[in-house]
Amino acid sequence: MIRWRSMWGCRTAVAVLIVILSLFLAACAKNPVTGEEELAFMSEPQEIAMGARYYPEVIQLNNGTPPQDPQLQAYVGRVGQRLAKLSHRPNIPWQFTVVDSSQVNAFALPGGKICITRGLITRMNSEDELAGVLGHEIGHVTARHAVAAYTRQVLMAGAMLGLAIALSDSDYAPAVLAAAGVAGGLMMLSYSRDQERQSDQLGYAYMTRAGYNPLAMVNTFELFKKMQKTEPSEVESWLSSHPLPRERIVAAEKRALASPLSNRPFKTAQFQRSLARQKRLAPAYAAMDRGNALARKKKWRQAEAQYKRAIAMFPKESMFYSRLAVAQMKQKQNTQALASARKGARLAWGNFYPNLILGMVANTNRQYSLAVNAHRKAAQALPDHVVNNFFLAYSYDKTGPRSQAVTYYRKVVKASPGSNYGKVAQKRLGQLGAL
């Protein structure tokens, strides 16, 4: 039985719920797509600011952009901007970026920031297919689906907080507070089926306004379903955030066949010219992907051979050298690993991953000053990355000043107290007398 030990707890809970109700009444906004008033705890300026804040970090988490291919970036930007100008929110600051990931995926951040992976775009065959994917992601932004998810999270967290305060004298409070975080995280994991259907419809509208054949969207859906059977790991990211039941494909096909544009030829000439470099480099990235698969099985020697094969085909890709460095380090080839890591970092000095790897390899080689410089550079790209901050703290711990080590150990503990990194950082802070 729950025991209400304190009238103060009850009154506080009521006060919290009153605040939530006040927010509910005050935070209504017109949806740009439907024109209806809906609850939104994020204004449009806040939405745009959030996208701008996290877009560079999301790009870094996806290995930056494919090297030496400004033509591809410009092309995707033109196609995306054309669709965005025909959308329900033409005046927000749209951006479109191809990221250097082999995963088959595309995703939208709040405020018009959209990414498509190298792994997806190189599997496409026409500009129409590209327009279908970008149009779908634009639909998530125009309908403010991320804002809706954020609002649901705030409501859930607020309701849970009010209940936890009311139960603050009971044994149930810790479990309730834990549930609030888990529930919020699960709600942000993927879009709902209704949101996916709406984005399909909006993507169809935007691509047909621009004159594209809507059957291309059906082709892309069929690609995802085929890969779900043949290459499930490559399409996992897309399907985790974009549920794809059969009825979505049927609905897309029905819409497309009802459009006179379904008789138009697909736009392929400019698409193939813009993708020529990436298509030519596909065997090199395939070798890297094989190396990654072998590395996951800890077959480091075979992985090393695949990374070297990738480098032989395309020696300008930093990821190949960084992954080679990891494989060499795992085989205790520390001198060779350091040389590979240095080359990877030189090719993409502003990117997170090659600097993270260089710092880790430098630490293994006891070159702590080099490690500090590399981890600091990585931290400029991703300031809150737990692993990088831990090794930056460790590097400062070896070289000084110890005050900097304390600063970064504390960041690790605050961000991830229950992880192995957090526990080691906590122990070291105790040894340094900095708890």
Instruction: Determine whether 394 is exposed, middle or buried from the number of CB atoms within 10 Å of its CB (0-12, 13-18, 19+).
Output: buried
- Whether 279 maps to a domain, the answer reads no
CA distance 137 to 132: 9
Helix (H, G, I), strand (E, B) or coil at 366: coil
Range of the domain at 22: 1-267
Reported pTM: 0.84
The average pLDDT across 296-303 equals: 98
For residue 92, the number of C-alpha atoms closer than 13 Å in the C-beta half-sphere is 30
Mean pLDDT of the 362-385 span: 96
Mark out the alpha helices in 63-144 (DSSP H runs): 70-85, 118-121, 127-142
Q: Can you give the pLDDT at residue 168?
A: 40
Nearest to 160 by CA among 182, 138, 180: 180
Q: Is residue 93 part of a domain?
A: yes
Q: Tell me if 256 sits within 8 A of 262, measured CB to CB.
A: yes
Is 18 domain-assigned? yes
Q: What single-letter amino acid sits at 134?
A: L
Give 128-183 pLDDT, tens digit per residue: 999 999 999 999 999 999 888 777 766 665 544 444 444 344 333 333 333 333 22
Tokens 């329900």 belong to residue: 88
Cα 299–303–307 angle (5° rounding)?
170
Out of 96-100, 101-105, 148-152, the most confident range is: 96-100
Assess whether pLDDT exceeds 80 at residue 228: no
24 lies in some domain: yes
- For 242-291, the pLDDT digits (tens) are 667 788 899 999 999 999 999 999 999 999 999 999 999 999 999 999 99
175 within domain boundaries: yes
**Each residue of 396-405: pLDDT tens digit?**
999 999 999 9
Distance of alpha carbon 368 from its chain centroid, rounded?
31
Q: Would 236 be classed as within a structural domain?
A: yes
User: Do the domain assignments include residue 260?
Assistant: yes
Q: How far is CA 186 from CA 11, 57, 192, in A?
A: 30, 22, 11
The tally of domains found in the chain comes to 1
Tokens representing 23 are 């927010």
Q: Report yes or no on 65 lying in a domain.
A: yes
Strands 95-99 and 28-30, how do they pair? unpaired
